[in-house]
Structure 1
Amino acid sequence: MKKFSLLLAGGVAAIILLSTIGPMVGLLVGLAILYFIFKKFLKAESTGGKIVLGIIGFFVLMASIHNAPAIIGVLAAYVLYLVYKNWNSSKKAVVKEDTDPFVNFEKQWNELNNH
C-alpha cells in the first residue's frame, strides 16, 4: 500500500512538474536578467543610467512575478525527490543482535560489571 501511495504522489508531482516547466524557465530567465541588471545598476555612475536600469529592472521584476506558478513546480520537484528517496526505504535492513557491535558491547559491559 505504501508503494501505491508513493506511486500516486510521484505521478501527480510529475504531472504538475511537467505542466509548470514553462513558468519555471520563464522565472529562471527573468531572475537571471534581473541579476545582471542589478549588477549593472550597482556599477552605473550616472544618475540617468541608474534610472533607466531601475525602470528596466522593474519591468523584468513584474514579468518574473507573473511566473509565480513556477514555485509550485519547484515544490513538485521536491516531492518527486522525496518519493525517489523513500521508494526503497520500506525495505529496512534487519540487524541481528549478534552482528550489531553495540548490542555485543552492552552485553559484555554488563557481564564485566556483574563480576
Structure 2
Amino acid sequence: MKKFMLFIGGLVALFILLANLGPMILLGLSIWLLYVIFKKFAKSDSTAGKIGWVILGLIVLSITFSNIFAVIGVAAAYVLYLVITNWRKEDNDQVVHEMKDDDPFTNFERQWAEINN
C-alpha cells in the first residue's frame, strides 16, 4: 500500500512539474536577466544610463513576479525527489539486527540504530 501511495504522489508531482515547466523556465530566465541588468547598472557611469537600467530592471522584475507560480513547480520537483528516494529505500534497512546476546557493545549498536531510525 505504501508503494502505491508513493506512486500516486509521484504521478501527481510529475504532472504539476510538467504543468509548471514553462513558468519555471521563464522565472529562471528573468532572474538571470535581473542579474545582467544589475551588473550593467553597476558598470554604468552616466545618470541617464542608470535610470534606463533601473526602468528595464523594473520591467523584468514585473515579469519575474508574474512567474512566481513556478515556485509550485519547484516544490513539485522536490516532492518528486522525495518520492523517488523513499521508493528506493528498503523496508528492512536496519544497521544491526537484534540479537539475544548480553554483549554491551552489541546492545549499544542496536540501541544506536533504533535512535537513528
- TM more than 0.5: yes
Q: 1:104 Cα deviation (Å)?
A: 6.6
- Count of residues paired in the alignment: 104
TM-score, normalising length: structure 1? 0.82
The amino acid across from 1:83 in the alignment is V
Q: Residues 1-115 of structure 1: matches in 2 within 5 Å?
A: 1-94=1-94, 95-97=96-98, 102-103=105-106
Residues in 2 aligned to 1:54 and 1:6: alpha-carbon distance in whole angstroms = 47
Residues in 2 aligned to 1:102 and 1:44: alpha-carbon distance in whole angstroms = 68
Q: What SS does the corresponding residue of 2:68 show, helix, strand or coil?
A: coil
Ranges in structure 1 where 5+ consecutive residues have no aligned partner: 107-115
Residues in 1 aligned to 2:19 and 2:36: alpha-carbon distance in whole angstroms = 28
* Residue in 1 that maps onto 2:115: none
Ranges in structure 2 where 5+ consecutive residues have no aligned partner: 110-117
**Identity within the alignment, %:** 52
Of the structure 1 ranges 61-70 and 51-60, higher mean CA displacement relative to structure 2 is found in 61-70
Residues in 2 aligned to 1:96 and 1:69: alpha-carbon distance in whole angstroms = 47
Residues in 2 aligned to 1:104 and 1:76: alpha-carbon distance in whole angstroms = 41
Which structure has the bigger radius of gyration?
A: 1
1:64-92 CA-partner distances (Å, limit 9, x unpaired)? 11111100000000000000111122422
Q: Superposition RMSD on alpha carbons, in Å? A: 1.9
* Residue in 2 that maps onto 1:110: none
